[in-house]
Structures are given as C-alpha cells and as structure tokens.
Amino acid sequence: MVTISFHFGNSKNRAKNYKRIRHFEAMGSVKDLVIIKEAKENEAGIAQFVFSDRYSVFDWGEMPNHIKDKGKALCIIGAYFFEKLEERGIKTHYIGLVENGKVKRLDELNEAVNVMQFKLLRVLKPQLKNGNYDYSIYKKEKSNFLIPLEIIYRNALPAGSSVFRRLKEGSISLDDLGLSRMPQPGEKLEKPILDVSTKLEEIDRYISWNEAKEIAGLNEEEAEEMKNLTMEANKLISKEISKAGLENEDGKVEFGFDEKRQIIFVDVLGTPDECRFKIDNVPVSKEIARIFYRKTEWYEKIEEAKKRDKLNWKKNVSSPPPLPTKLEKLLSWLYQACCNEITGREWFDVPKLKEIIGEIKEFL
C-alpha cells in the first residue's frame, strides 16, 4: 500500500473525515481509493473512488499536466453506466455519488462530482512462489471477493491492438478468437470477440478461458455468465455512446462475487479510460496525448532507455515536457463534452464534441 497525503477541505472537515476513514490508498494515475469500512469474509465493506485529473502515458507515471475536470467527467460517465445496468436488473457494486457529504444518484446531483461510493469486496492476492503464481486461495474462498480477471471485449481491431502481436507470435490462434480468417488493422468485426487476462499479477498476461476458470475457481456456468454479462455491457455502452457519434472499438470490465456468490460488476466501466472510443477516426481518450508525445525527443529517449534497461529505464530519462496549453485545454474539453453528450445532460459548459475534435486534428 502506498500512502499519500489527501486534503478534504478546511481543517474542521478534514478532522471529521479522518475519523470516518480508515486509510487512503494510491491506485495509480486515474483514481484513488478511500476505504471507509473494510470488507470482511462474509460482509462487503464501503469505499470511495476519488477520480483525479492526473494521467499517465508510456508507463511514466504522473505527467506534468493535469487534464482539468477529467476526474468529474469519468466519475459521471461511470455512474451513468452503472445506473443503466441496474435498470436492466444487472447487479453492480455501485452505491452512488458523493456531493457535500451525501450519497446521491445521478438525477439528484446539483453539479458534477468526482467521488463515487461503492460496496468494497475483498482482494485476495495470489502468492508468487518459485516464479509462479499460486491461486489456490480461490478454490478455498467462496464469496465476497474480486475475481482476479479482466475481460476485454473487442468490436474492432485497431492497428495498435495486442491481438495482431499475439497472433504473429503464436500465443493465440484464430480459433481462440472465433475468427475464420486473419483480420486486418482497423477492421470492424462481424461479431464481438472476448479476451481475458490476469488482474493481480506483477505483470498481467492474456490467458485462455480454461486457465481463467482454473485460476479463479470458476465453474462453466459462472464463466459463461461473465461472458454474457460482458456482451450485455458492450451492447449497452455501444448504444449509449452512439448518441454522441462515438464508436466503441473495445473496452474492459471487471467482476466480483458478492456475499451470496452472485457475479457483480466492479471497478468502473464505459468511460474513455476503460474503453477505446473514436469519432471521425480520432481517439477520444488520453491516446491523443500519446500521439502528441510520440513526435517528441522525450519519447525517443524513452524507447532507447527501455532497450538498454527494461526495469530501470526511468532513471535514464528526464521529465517529459508539458502539453501545449491549447492541447491541454482541448483534452479537458474532450472529456467534458463526452460526458455531456453520453449522459444527455449539460454538466460542463464546453463546445460540442465534433467542434473540439476538429481543433484537436491540428495536433495529430
């Protein structure tokens, strides 16, 4: 656990909140985790995601710019899809959003917020023994835990998709993906394909569905239910974002078992950070920042450093330059407009998505 300082406002509020909160964990570049009540063997805990304006590219960690209001936009979009799933009778860990200390549903909010409250499941980490991960704990424990897998749906295979590399090296076959012929970069698939990877290893890896069932202690019915729920989420996300003119190329979802060993959606889904969205062939995500930085000397130095030392390469690279001021503003607007147009509510006073994309194209 990495503990970092976190400010809750004025000193009186801060003191009150610190009594309420057990601890604060750093979760990476996108969101932070505040644990209010620990999860127990047979009882879910309570926690909050605090969505940040930070972002990272190329495994660097926190970049010099923050993308203003990205956290609020992602929080609202994530809540929107959780509430849409619940309308369909699909279980999730979502409780609501936090505004002025009160937990609310989306239609009760006065303005966009960046804190989401949810039911916290246990995280049972596999143990690394002699170079291999021991997942035996998942055969002993039956409920109230995060399933240690990520499920990836793919509606298209953009040029950067890992599928092409894996097909080339032979770690996956066309049969594994349910494909009858070799796909082309940028191709839209006739029907979505599903991938699965580990979730809690030091370096996560794509695995077969047979291995996924084995390590997570899933029976055939549970594995099929996860697949069906992923497809349901994919259809929902694709339908909802099409209102904003967006295409849903791929995305990832995560699941857990509740106290009754019912499968529920966890983490967040349907946001530009969990999915690969595009409009007019332009990515709608931090991929725009990646495209910008690939043209810089800083990126060239990263590539050179990684070839020399895969583990300690960052020590040999200076800090990245900031984004141009205009591009930083456009990226901020991009997330905010995406939120407005997907949810159908004007949370942010920004131009329309297509106008923003038109200006972003100047940098690509």
The rounded Cα 305 to chain-centroid distance in angstroms is 28
The answer for residues whose C-beta is within 8 angstroms of residue 232's C-beta and 6 or more apart is 85, 88, 90
Least confident range of 32-36, 55-59, 255-259, 347-351: 55-59
Look at residue 29 in the predicted model and tell me its pLDDT: 55
For the chain, give every domain's residue range.
127-270
Output the average pLDDT for the chain: 90
Q: Is the pLDDT of residue 161 over 60?
A: yes
H or E segment at 227? Answer: helix 220-241
Least confident range of 14-28, 204-218, 251-265, 266-280: 14-28
Q: Give 23-72 pLDDT, tens digit per residue.
A: 444 445 578 999 999 999 999 999 999 999 999 899 898 999 999 999 99
Between CA 63 and CA 319 the distance in angstroms is: 9
Look at residue 199 in the predicted model and tell me its pLDDT: 95
Between CA 288 and CA 270 the distance in angstroms is: 18
Between CA 316 and CA 301 the distance in angstroms is: 8
Q: Is the pLDDT of residue 114 over 80?
A: yes
List the CATH code of the domain at 127-270.
Answer: 3.30.470.20
Residue 333 · residue 351 · CB < 8 Å: yes
Between CA 280 and CA 284 the distance in angstroms is: 10
Average pLDDT over residues 134-141: 96
The answer for residues whose C-beta is within 8 angstroms of residue 140's C-beta and 6 or more apart is none
The answer for residues whose C-beta is within 8 angstroms of residue 44's C-beta and 6 or more apart is 93, 119, 120, 121, 144, 258, 259
Average pLDDT over residues 345-350: 98
Q: How confident is the model at residue 11 (pLDDT cuts 50, 70, 90)?
A: very low
Residue 348 · residue 339 · CB < 8 Å: yes
More confident of the two residues 344 and 363: 344
| Residue 332: φ, ψ to 5° | -60, -50
Residue 116 · residue 88 · CB < 8 Å: no
| Residue 153: φ, ψ to 5° | -100, 145
Q: Is the pLDDT of residue 290 over 80?
A: yes
Look at residue 35 in the predicted model and tell me its pLDDT: 95
Residue identified by tokens 């394909």 is: 193
Considering only CA atoms, which of 195, 194, 199, 197 is closest in space to residue 121? 199
Question: Would you give the DSSP letter of residue 313?
Answer: G
Residue 26 · residue 49 · CB < 8 Å: no
Between CA 119 and CA 74 the distance in angstroms is: 19
The tokens for 207 are 């695995």
The answer for residues whose C-beta is within 8 angstroms of residue 268's C-beta and 6 or more apart is 31, 49, 74, 78, 116, 274
Considering only CA atoms, which of 298, 307, 364 is closest in space to residue 330? 364
Between CA 127 and CA 307 the distance in angstroms is: 29
Between CA 173 and CA 182 the distance in angstroms is: 10
